[in-house]
A and B are shown apart, each in its own frame.
Chain A
Amino acid sequence: MESNVQTAKVLPTKGKKRRKKFIGSEAFYGYLFVSPMVIGFLLVMLFPLVYSIYMSLTDWQLLGDPNFIGSENYQRLVNDPDFWVVLKNTLIFAAGLVPINILMALLLALLLQKNLPGIGFFRTAIFIPVMTSIVVWSIIWKYMFGTEEGFINQILAVIGIDGPAWLYDPDLAMGAVIVVSALKNVGLNMVLFLAALQQVDKNLYEASYLDGANRLKQFTNVTLPMITPTVFLTLILTVIGSMKVFGQIYVMTNGGPGNTTKVLVYYIWENAFKLFDFGYASAIALVLFVIILFFTIIQWSARKRWVFHEE
């Protein structure tokens, strides 16, 4: 689609003779080769995004004609106590998951960067959950959290602790989901950090060693500044990912107990595909979009600033 527009712009000035030349020219193949993805971009991404803005201004239901209702959905949103709970839960999830995930991944990367015997085994073990489906991972953990008889509580019983009903306790369910999610993806960030650590110039360590720096000083003065861009970008990606959490909530808690683990995407899904309140769901979805846009802009501006580190 886009390619035709571009073609049309070029053609009139160049005349018929040139037209023959355009067919089969480098530019022609350029447009041809990118056209499926560009058409896809228009149909699957841009148009739906614009359309969802329109939908958020209507009272669109499963059946019946939608009516334009202006900002009513957004007013409803502001006055919807559930929405604020859901937003809070999403932020709690992110606030719990991101530090655990990043710090653990950093620690693991630092431990695994040396080629000591057995390193391969540990790397594989920590990476296995990344390759497992979130549904399977959550089912297993739901079973392990169990109630009184679950694997985890049995282990706690051995050391004399009477374990709680993790996923049915409003104070603990979110914590359990956070830990399960952090374990699932810590291997991914670990690999990213490992790659960044491997790119740190070895001469810098030597130089700092000659300057009399000890291990800790080397870490804070050489390693940390060199991998900061990667850590920061990974952090933002992890934040964005945690805003979109859904599968583990769906499988492990269904948003419960009460509303304590209900997060944004779950609320969108519930409103759109359980209650078929498409207009209202679109308004919530756009809130999610704005949040993610905000973090993406931070990420991009940071990437620009650190571009000299990357290539």
Chain B
Amino acid sequence: MKNKKKSGIFTKLSFYGVLTLISLIMIVPLLWMINTSFKDSTKVFVFQFIPNPFKWENYLQVLESTPFHLFYFNSFYIAILVTAGTIFLGSLAGYAFAKLTFKGSSFLFLCLLSTMMIPVEVITIPLFLFMRDLGLINTHVPLIAIPILGPAGVFGVFVMRQFFLLVPKELEEAAKLDGCSYFRIYWNIMLPLAKPAVATLTIFTFLTSWNEFYEPLIYINSKELMTLPVALALFTDEVGTKWELLMSASVMATVPLLIVFFFAQKQFIEGVAMTGGK
């Protein structure tokens, strides 16, 4: 009996030990980033729990030497548009695939689904040339249109269709009897019902767009049009080993969003679990 209790404590200790160790590995880099962002340039490799001197001026220096507000704005509005487009077109098509009968619907759905196995990296070369012919290189159009219409958008269709399949038929039957048009049924009945799925998809799409690196790297040349990830990568080349500035820039790019998602993490985690992580 006593032995059993002892092994219980031991199990618990090792349980918390392992979890604490792994959690530390995950969090310490981010804390180290915040810590360094306030350090003096001569102290970036010195352990200081509270940096001394405490250089919040690092942030000012980043803001003065780069158009950081533009990077922020670009990332933000592109992510908003991509999210809005994905939600609207994805739920519209998802509703049609789930609830409306029309010839070839399952064939079309399968076509869309099959694109999820085409890596964006593979089709980027022809897309780049099309965009060049259309004069859209070094604009935000490819960064907005391709995710909405490409695999990421198809993922949205898939998620929304799965949700609408679960909605009982009676609801729309009643609306049909009342003479509602199909768009009204979609807009007034289906979409409000789909709030949980929309919330999940919103977080997922916004975050993916916000963190997207490959496409902006290829399509954008001018500094003032860059999004945060590309600007940060470029900034790395520019300032080299001025780690305190790099960390200030990274904090500005990361922490506000992390705080927002900290509050929405339940939806996000549930969403990932529900959608199978793509």
Chain A residue at minimum C-beta to C-beta distance from B243: A143
Residues of B with C-beta under 8 A to A134: 211, 213, 229
Across-interface contacts of A150 in B (CB, < 8 A): 45
For A154, list chain B residues within 8 Å (CB). Answer: 45, 47
Whose C-beta in chain A lies nearest to the C-beta of B142? A44
Known: A41-B149, A233-B276. 5 other contacts (CB 8 A): A36-B92, A104-B22, A192-B273, A195-B273, A250-B213
Among the listed A116, A118, A144, A269, which residue makes an inter-chain contact with B29, where contact means beta carbons less than 8 Å apart?
Answer: A144
| Chain B residues bordering chain A, tally (CB within 8 A) | 92
Residues of B close to A136: CB separation below 8 A:
33, 229, 232, 250, 253-254
Contacting pair B26 A111 (CB below 8 A): no
Pick from A126, A188, A194: contact of B26, CB under 8 Å: A126
Q: Which residues of A contact B112 (CB under 8 A)?
A: 37-38, 41
Which residues does chain B contribute within 8 Å of A247, judged by CB atoms? 213-214, 229
Q: Do the beta carbons of A244 and B146 come within 8 Å of each other? A: no
In the bound assembly, the distance between CA atoms of A241 and B19 in angstroms comes to 26
C-beta contact mask, B41-54 vs A, less than 8 Å → 1, else 0? 00001010000000
**How would you classify the secondary structure of chain A's contact residues: helix, strand, loop or mixed?**
helix
* B-facing residues in A223-252 (Cβ within 8 Å): 233-234, 237, 243-244, 246-247, 250-251
Determine if A43 and B149 form an interchain contact, defined as CB atoms under 8 angstroms apart. Answer: yes
Stretch at the interface among A27-35, A83-91, A201-209: A27-35
Can you list 17 A-B contacts (CB < 8 A)? A33-B182, A45-B123, A49-B118, A52-B126, A111-B19, A116-B15, A118-B16, A128-B26, A131-B261, A139-B233, A140-B32, A188-B272, A189-B277, A191-B269, A194-B273, A285-B121, A285-B124
Residues on B with beta carbons closer than 8 Å to the beta carbon of A34: 92-93, 96-97, 105, 108
Q: Does A308 contact B (CB under 8 A)?
A: no
Rank and list the top 5 A-B pairs by shortest CB-CB distance, nearest first: A40-B149, A30-B102, A195-B273, A33-B96, A125-B23
CA distance A251 to B125 in the complex (A): 22
What are the residues of chain A within 8 A of B100 when measuring CB–CB?
26-27, 29-30, 33
